């Protein structure tokens, strides 16, 4: 069994694929699979989003002993590429072990690497992240590291063998959007040829559109969809927002100005004076 079905995507992102580790993925939306009201809602939300990749928390789902096998089968049946992740791991050793489990379970070299430093913010442990990324690359994994917008850490992750970077927008599950716009813009400018995916903290479709307008290649989100009043409708809304943001980035956004500028030129327009013509 392989993690990729490579089915054609007929959703909003068809025709504008993103290359990740040499794989052309039709959609620029990556969707998490946790905390949905039911398996059917999860399946319908994935379909509505037209996402090309879903992420799965191996440690969290493996802990559900009774429903574990049914959940894995549901993920396989979604018909999209699977990106196992190491959510909940707090050391490089834990993350490496969990990644090996994901490779065995889903038959994929891809892994979303998380090494968490703080329980309150779920901020990445950048030291452990670089250590684990280097070891996993040596073992043949293709690593998608959940990191911050720190440029030094980004350079070390690339040197460790990562070809994709996933900086956070805000702490996981907060819905705060893009907390450090300056840092994210700087990261995009500093690594123009590296696929960058904003991961975590996006709470509204407008947040996703803004990330795409900045020139980011994709976004990954979960809670904003799974906890919405209508997860299926929200999945569709995010898909449309990402399409709009991507189109705006390609078209070229206007530069902000401090002063007003008339949209209708004054030169060459007729002038009507006041008073009588006599």
The yes-or-no answer on residue 112 being catalytic is yes
Please give the pLDDT value at position 258: 87
Q: In terms of DSSP bridges, do strands 110-113 and 142-147 run parallel, antiparallel, or are they unpaired?
A: parallel
Please give the pLDDT value at position 7: 43
Q: In terms of DSSP bridges, do strands 218-221 and 23-25 run parallel, antiparallel, or are they unpaired?
A: unpaired
β-strand partners of 31: 54, 221
Please give the pLDDT value at position 270: 63
Instruction: Please give the Cα distance from 88 to 68 (Å, whole number).
Output: 17
Please give the pLDDT value at position 199: 95
Q: In terms of DSSP bridges, do strands 53-57 and 81-85 run parallel, antiparallel, or are they unpaired?
A: parallel
Please give the pLDDT value at position 75: 87
Instruction: Please give the Cα distance from 241 to 208 (Å, whole number).
Output: 6
What are 160's two structure tokens?
């460790």
Please give the pLDDT value at position 118: 86
Whole-model pTM over 0.85: yes
E strand or H helix at 73, and its extent? helix 68-77
Q: Cα Rg for the chain, rounded, in angstroms?
A: 22
Please give the pLDDT value at position 274: 59
Please give the pLDDT value at position 58: 83
CA angle 264, 269, 270 (to 5 degrees): 140
Contact 74, 45 (CB under 8 A): no
Contact 241, 209 (CB under 8 A): yes
Residue with token string 């913010």: 121
- Give the active site residue among 93, 112, 227, 250: 112
Please give the pLDDT value at position 86: 96
Please give the pLDDT value at position 277: 56
Question: What b/e readout covers 267-276, taking b as 16+ CB neighbours within 10 angstroms?
Answer: eeeeeeeeee
Among positive and negative, which fits the CA dihedral 44, 49, 52, 56? negative
Give pLDDT tens digits along the chain (278 positions).
Answer: 344 444 444 455 545 899 999 999 999 999 999 999 999 999 999 999 999 999 999 875 554 544 556 788 888 888 899 999 999 999 999 999 999 999 998 999 999 999 999 888 899 999 999 999 999 999 999 999 999 999 999 999 999 999 999 999 999 999 999 999 999 999 999 999 999 999 999 999 999 999 999 999 999 999 999 999 999 999 999 999 999 999 999 999 988 888 888 877 666 666 556 555 55
């Amino acid at each position: 069994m392989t993690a990729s079905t490579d089915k054609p995507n007929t959703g909003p992102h068809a025709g504008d694929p993103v290359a990740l580790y040499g794989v052309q993925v039709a959609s620029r939306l990556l969707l998490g699979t946790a905390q949905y009201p039911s398996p059917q809602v999860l399946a319908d939300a994935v379909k509505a989003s037209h996402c090309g990749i879903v992420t799965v928390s191996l440690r969290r789902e493996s802990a559900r002993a009774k429903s574990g096998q049914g959940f894995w089968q549901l993920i396989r049946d979604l018909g999209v590429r699977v990106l196992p992740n190491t959510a909940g791991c707090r050391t490089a050793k834990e993350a490496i072990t969990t990644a090996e489990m994901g490779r065995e379970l889903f038959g994929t070299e891809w892994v979303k690497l998380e090494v968490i430093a703080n329980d309150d913010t779920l901020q990445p442990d950048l030291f452990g992240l670089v250590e684990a990324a280097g070891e996993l690359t040596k073992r043949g994994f293709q690593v998608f590291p959940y990191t911050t917008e720190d440029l030094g850490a980004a350079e070390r992750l690339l040197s460790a063998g990562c070809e994709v970077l996933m900086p956070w927008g805000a702490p996981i599950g907060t819905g705060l959007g893009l907390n450090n716009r300056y840092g994210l813009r700087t990261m995009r400018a500093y690594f123009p040829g590296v696929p960058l995916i904003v991961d975590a903290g996006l709470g509204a479709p407008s947040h996703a559109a803004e990330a795409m307008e900045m020139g980011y290649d994709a976004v990954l989100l979960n809670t904003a969809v799974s906890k919405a009043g209508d997860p299926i409708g929200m999945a569709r809304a995010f898909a449309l927002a990402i399409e709009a943001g991507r189109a705006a980035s390609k078209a070229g956004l206007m530069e902000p100005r401090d002063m007003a500028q008339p949209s209708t030129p004054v030169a060459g327009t007729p002038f009507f004076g006041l008073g009588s013509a006599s």
